[in-house]
Structure 1
């Protein structure tokens, strides 16, 4: 009678024990499968969230001039860029989107004020690059544009604005530090060429009226420069992002920038990991949590299975003695124990596919939220002060909460591999008492 046949007979005769083992293996397989599926989904989510982010740097804090930007663009590794100018002014008759959780602020004299950020190319604006906002209608602002603007979908809806409508921004005389005294224009008229929206709808619009992305206007730099009276020699660009090819070493590009005969006025150069700090750290945290979950599931599975099998194998000492007396080797006896579990695992692991589908997404969402919250809280504590709610500051604490968990045949193969290893290790551990005993000692225990 071979090993598999004895294993099958034992399973069919000991139905109660077999059902208990089926449930245990099913629970272990579900936990391992969920961990494997969530780990894969995390890697995909990280790739999607950080695609396009890995190879760029930004010059921040201090303002630089158009001529400085043109010098940097001469570096052949740089393929694209976007420069931004701070701006804004008063717009008569345009209603603002209200915060749902408003921060205290003195709006005296700013009731009609809107922030209008200049761009050379909004498609390369960091808020679009990191997918916190997206274009839903019309087109992006592109180099050479003048008198163009993008507005938020909520602002457009509130004011019945559409593509082609025009907004007139009035200069805030005496209140705008960006304006060059005696230069520029009193008004600038902007045509709406695109409408953008948040990628992920926020539960609360927290901050002031001026903080909300919903009340931001994304315009072209040519209009802002003309409005304020700037020249190409003026240091006016407060954030400039430069993008290189995917395979380019961004550190090498930054070194070349620092070697240029230009004055960066002590500006800070940040890579994507510095700008989207929470995004990069949250995936690191998520990966650690999932790895702990996988290791924990495997170790706990081995421990539980070993403990149960130890008691069961001790209870089978009579059967073991008989098998030894008829010449069956210890190896074949242990092989039978493993075969019994592997036969039961066929059904247990197969059923885990359905249970894994049900719980893996919930587990993934919960872990992703936990990782995001822990990361943001850590960054806020390290900052030592309250972070603002404006769109640019929010990029520091921006995290991805989008994770889609799918179980494919590939994950099932991993479960079979890990599950079989767990079964083999558990049987080996629980069979130590038999392996150490000599046949005569086992036979003596039968009495």
Structure 2
């Protein structure tokens, strides 16, 4: 059977080419669809992380609270990362703030509240919503990291006005609650310069302007403020996936915390909006996969039916020399399998291209979240290989079903009836 199949495939080049093209298209589409379906969970988790979804703990009076009170929260295993934020004001020494048109004029400001900047102290700025949303962008240098000590990020306009550059020092006098009311100067090294403008709320202070906002590393801010108990205004909690976030939320709510004083909220709006689009595209991919399988069977069956009619003489000869029907049908199956082998390489390349284009177009159309390029690619070679093997297995099933359907006229008729048709 194999020898006869090989001879037929090599001699009937045009027919083999047509079948090759059909099988390549079917296998490519199957592989790309299965690839997207199987990686949808990884894609969902990646979208979840990049959407900056988080749990946010704050006081209802917008005041600060001791970081030690959140230790039990940090011990919850579903929490993958905790980010502290402390907001205060400071007066830059030997530097001038950027002036702008205020919508609120105040004549009652004391000298200590003139020429001040707003300060956000945090253990990292990489997941700060002002940066992840694109409101602020790092122009020079880098983000604040958890290991930083005495580091600061400043706005490019503030840097320009005061002739400041990376690695220069900025001295600040904090206006927050300093123990023993000793407001002393503290020096910070510039590691990053950012640009952008946030939505501003005007109170008549120079700190209202985006240009007069600075970011400090958290630990140094607490040393500068002499806060031995370490205070925060906001605690942001991150999990690796939506399931862990839900578990973390329930566990935190079960802790012995006076919830009449605190708020715990889920900030998942961006992820949920993106997930709706992902679910829709997953539904479309499921329909496409089923449609491709049905279309593959129908098209192959129709083509094989036409060709088998032309091969009735060959079938009759094989029957007359002792070949049974199973061997003849087996030869037809071997013919298609032999043609499908060269289509493997082309289908692998085309399938990866199609899946990357589908995912890429989905990500490009969703501007609500910043997505890394790696999402459009499969993360593991082994997973891709297993998916391709499964796709090829489905193709083999399509080949067998198609051959059986197209060979019904052989299977249901007796050899004598088939031979009589030859004459």
Question: TM-score, normalised to structure 2's length?
Answer: 0.67
- Look up the SS of the partner of 1:140 in the other structure: coil
User: CA-to-partner distance for each residue in 1:110-129, whole Å, 9 max, x for gaps?
Assistant: 9x99764332x226855599
User: CA-to-partner distance for each residue in 1:285-312, whole Å, 9 max, x for gaps?
Assistant: 5544544444443333233222222222
Alpha carbons 1:65, 1:233 under 8 Å: kept: no
Matched, 1:149 2:155: no
1:386 corresponds to which residue? Answer: none
Which piece of structure 1 moves more, 263-272 or 45-54?
45-54
Residue 342 (structure 1) shift: 0.8
Alpha carbons 2:31, 2:388 under 8 Å: kept: yes
Q: Report the Cα distance in structure 2 between the residues aligned to 1:359 and 1:252, rounded to whole angstroms.
A: 37
User: CA-to-partner distance for each residue in 1:107-156, whole Å, 9 max, x for gaps?
Assistant: 6369x99764332x22685559989889954752569x6x7533478986
Which piece of structure 1 moves more, 29-38 or 210-219?
210-219
Matched, 1:5 2:26: no
Matched, 1:257 2:252: yes
CA spacing shift, 1:310–1:209, aligned 2, 3 Å: farther
Alpha carbons 2:174, 2:225 under 8 Å: kept: no
Q: Report the Cα distance in structure 1 between the residues aligned to 2:361 and 2:276, rounded to whole angstroms.
A: 17
Greater C-alpha radius of gyration: 2
After superposition, the CA RMSD in angstroms is 5.3
Aligned residues, how many?
Answer: 392
Matches within 5 A, 1:23-422: 23-38=21-36, 46=44, 57-59=55-57, 62=60, 67=65, 69-74=67-72, 76-77=75-76, 81-86=82-87, 108=103, 116-119=119-122, 121-122=123-124, 125=127, 137=142, 140=145, 148-151=151-154, 161-166=165-170, 191-195=188-192, 217-220=214-217, 237=233, 239-242=234-237, 251=246, 253-265=248-260, 267-270=262-265, 276-278=271-273, 283-285=278-280, 287-356=282-351, 360-370=355-365, 372=366, 376=368, 397-399=369-371, 402-405=374-377, 410=386, 412-422=388-398
CA spacing shift, 1:164–1:300, aligned 2, 3 Å: farther
User: CA-to-partner distance for each residue in 1:376-404, whole Å, 9 max, x for gaps?
Assistant: 5xxxxxxxxxxxxxxxxxxxx55555434
- Look up the SS of the partner of 1:73 in the other structure: helix
- Look up the SS of the partner of 1:328 in the other structure: coil
- Look up the SS of the partner of 2:259 in the other structure: coil
Q: Report the Cα distance in structure 2 between the residues aligned to 1:142 and 1:128, rounded to whole angstroms.
A: 21
Structure 2 unaligned segments of length 5 or more: list them.
106-114, 202-207
Q: Report the Cα distance in structure 1 between the residues aligned to 2:236 and 2:309, rounded to whole angstroms.
A: 69
Which piece of structure 1 moves more, 187-196 or 12-21?
187-196
Which piece of structure 1 moves more, 287-296 or 86-95?
86-95
Matched, 1:435 2:407: no
Alpha carbons 2:91, 2:173 under 8 Å: kept: yes
Q: Report the Cα distance in structure 1 between the residues aligned to 2:300 and 2:197, rounded to whole angstroms.
A: 50
- Look up the SS of the partner of 2:339 in the other structure: helix
CA spacing shift, 1:245–1:62, aligned 2, 3 Å: same
Alpha carbons 2:98, 2:212 under 8 Å: kept: no
Alpha carbons 2:153, 2:194 under 8 Å: kept: no
CA spacing shift, 1:399–1:53, aligned 2, 3 Å: closer
Residue 255 (structure 1) shift: 3.8
Residue 59 (structure 1) shift: 2.2
Residue 343 (structure 1) shift: 0.9
